[in-house]
Amino acid sequence: MSRRRSVLALVVLCVAGCRNDGAQTTAPVNLASQQITDDTGAIQVDVGYRGAPEREVEIVVNLKAVGIEEMDKVVADIRVDGFVLVAGTPEWSGFVAPRQPIAHKASFRLLEGNESGTLIVTVQRSANSEVLFETRLDFAADGDRVKPVQ
């Protein structure tokens, strides 16, 4: 009986470990980019996506300091309409330090019955909620996947 449990546990671990491997091997498709500059420093914001089966999409928000100054604490947030969160967290906050890029990732699934949905990515100041960057990403169902609407 314990051997059967061991085999079952191994199968479960293999299946769970393989779920995201396919998505991680390809670079995200870039959807929006902008450099943000203020009196504390500058960061480059790049937003991309990776499509996945079952109408899932992974949003990747890359934040990278430009120059040698650390940017004050910022918040990267992904708001949803027509999607549900399936992995990761929709919000990241922290400092963007030189030579320490941040890759914030979250995966969403299109709600059953919906043929389209929207994800809004915002980068704002932590202290006063000043919006530094915002982009709206519209997606539509395409078979068992979702694709951005141009």
Q: Please give the CATH superfamily to which domain 27-148 belongs.
A: Immunoglobulins (2.60.40.10)
Does pTM top 0.85 for this prediction? no
Burial of 72 (C-beta count, 10 Å sphere; 0-12/13-18/19+): middle
pLDDT in tens, 45-74: 999 999 999 999 999 999 999 988 888 899
pLDDT in tens, 70-124: 888 999 999 999 999 999 999 999 999 999 999 999 999 999 999 999 999 999 9
Q: What is the DSSP letter of 119?
A: E
Nearest-angstrom CA–CA distance, 144 and 41:
42
Nearest-angstrom CA–CA distance, 109 and 88:
12
pLDDT in tens, 115-137: 999 999 999 988 888 999 999 99
Domain ranges of the chain: 27-148
Mean pLDDT, the chain, integer: 85
